[in-house]
Structures are given as structure tokens and as C-alpha cells.
Amino acid sequence: MAAAALSREDMGQALLDAVGAGNTGKVTRLLEAGAPVNWADWFGQTPLIRAADNGHIESMRMLLDRGADMEAKDELGLTALIWATWNGEMEAMALLLDRGADLEAKTNDGDTALMVAARSGRVEVMTVLLDRSADLEAKDENCYTALVWAAYSGKVEAVALLLDSGADPEIRDKSGRTPLIMAAERGHVASMRVLLDRGADLEAKDSYCDTALITAAYKGEMEAVALLLDRGADLEAKDNDGSTALIGAAWNGHAEAVALLLDRGADLEAKDNDGESSLVVAARLGHVEAVAVLLDRGADLEAKTT
């Protein structure tokens, strides 16, 4: 059947398929036959989004020359530029940016192209976006910036690039967590080192008054705990519940973290707001190995809650 005899919907789907396959000849014929350049499938993907997603530059040029909407979004709120960024399609990104694509367009979750690139550690892509003046401090729905995403994802080169470009190392998400706290939570030690070397606040606290050390200890991230202690983190800092890093480690039964903290001089008998020491907490929660470490180090068996 000739392309001209197809319905508008069939022509739109045929154009989408041709673009996805990189069949520029068929794309040309369909466009000349009047295929709808901004037709979208059930997921909201337009031909331009599909072409950018796959890095099919010639198809993108044809679509743009026919008036394709650069800011059309799919069901997730991703534009053609964000899709190109996601997949590291550098030439597609450059074309869209040269044609005036919105650098700060956001997905349904509030992610910009820079955040998407930072989360996946695509440093070359990030460099292009930053050279085009992408907003370093744009925030998503959780108040994550590109730097927060890079730190959370452990993308150390992305962290370094963003800091070099002037990103705020003390930016906070909705829970008050800094990039250092986020990196510590997931044990991303290399990213932590970069942040600390660039002056990140070792004692910054989130909305629960957790420091990076308390967070790392609670999660049992041994390397992160060791690094923070080496950098001089306060062993006896307390969160809103009065828990120290040692109590946090005991709470989750992280016996190795308990031992490390004690080796560095943590107060064995420190108590939280309920008057419970690390031994009481570990015993109450049935963490046998942590209890054994604490007893071996001389924890008071007769200690009472207050």
C-alpha cells in the first residue's frame, strides 16, 4: 500500500518505526507524503524523541526542518534532549542545542539533562551541557542537584567536574542531606574523598541531625567510617535521638563498625535519649556479634537505662 493511502495514525507509526530503524529514505518519503511530524505513540514518543534516543542525526535534521517540536515530552516527561543525554548521544545533543532546545527542561521527577548525565557519570556529556550554561543548582522534586545525584551514585569524575564548575558542596536535599552524607550512606569512598578535599563540611547534619559518620556507621559502610575518622570526624556527635555513631552501628548489628569505632576511642557507655547504651541497644535487638564485641571491650553489663 502506498504511504499516501495510509491513515494519519498509520503514517505516524510508520514514521516512528522508520526513524527508529534509521531508514532515512523511508523517513523522507513519509514526510513528503504528509506524515505527521509530531505524532506520538502510546508512550508519548515522537519521531524526534525516537531519533534522538538512537542518535539518528540525519533523521533528526529532516524532522527539525519540518517543524518537529523539540520540547515535546513522553509519558515520563523526557524531551529529545534528555533522551540523547541519557544515552550519551553527543552529536544528537549538539544538534538539539544548536537548534535551541531547552537545557532546563525537566522530567516528571524534576530531572534536567545535567542531572541525568550526572547520575550516570557521563562526564563528556556533562561538559557539553556545562559549556552551554546548564544550571548547576537546579533541583528535582527531592531537591537533588546534579552534584547530589553524582555523589549518591558514586560517580567520582562527575563529582569532581561539578565541584570544579562551582557546584555548592553543601547543597541539601529535602531531608537536609549534603552530598557528603549521601555518598557516605552508600559507601562511595572515592566521591567522599573528592568532596572532603574540596572542603565539604565533615560535621554537617541532616534534618535528623545525622552526620556523615553517623550515617556511614548506621549503614555499616566500613571504608566510609574509616575515611571520616581519618579526617577527624566527631565520634561523639549525636542525632535527634541522641544516638552516636557507635549506637547507630550497634543498632543495626554492624559488629565490624562497632569494633572500628571503639578502636578509635568511641565512648562505650554513651547513651541515647532513651538512656540506652550501645550494648543495651544491640542486646535488645538480638545482635549477638555486636554484643560480643562490646562485652569484649568492657561494656558495663549492669548499665541501666535512664
pTM reported for the whole predicted model = 0.92
Residue that wins the pLDDT comparison between 302 and 187:
187
Helix (H/G/I), strand (E/B), else coil: 192: helix
Read off the C-alpha cell for 26: 523511508
Distance CA 178, CA 173 (A): 7
The whole-number pLDDT of residue 6 equals 78
The contacts of residue 110 (CB under 8 Å, 6+ apart) are 139, 140, 141, 142
Give yes or no for residue 3 having a pLDDT over 50: no
Average pLDDT of 106-131?
A: 98
The band of 285, judged by pLDDT with boundaries at 50, 70 and 90, is: very high
Q: What percent of the chain has pLDDT over 70?
A: 97
CB atoms within 10 A of CB 137: 11
Mean pLDDT of 140-146: 97
pLDDT value for 304: 63
**Confidence grade of residue 301 (pLDDT, cut at 50, 70, 90):** confident
Return the pLDDT at 2: 45
Model confidence pLDDT, tens digit, residues 88-107: 999 999 999 999 999 999 99
Mean pLDDT, to the nearest integer, of 272-287? 96
**Which pLDDT does position 133 carry in this prediction?**
96
- The helix or strand, by DSSP H or E, that contains position 292, with its residue range, turns out to be helix 288-296
How many alpha carbons lie under 13 Å from residue 5 in its C-beta half-sphere? 2
Q: What is the mean pLDDT of residues 200-217?
A: 98
Among candidates 282, 224, 213, which has minimal Cα distance to 254? 282
Judge: domain 1-102, CATH 1.25.40.20: yes
* 306 band by pLDDT with thresholds 50, 70 and 90: low
Q: Is residue 149 over pLDDT 60?
A: yes
The yes-or-no verdict on residue 213 having pLDDT over 90 is yes
- The contacts of residue 289 (CB under 8 Å, 6+ apart) are 253, 255
Q: How far is CA 236 from CA 75, 186, 225, 246, in A?
A: 48, 21, 13, 8
pLDDT in tens, 40-55: 999 999 999 999 999 9
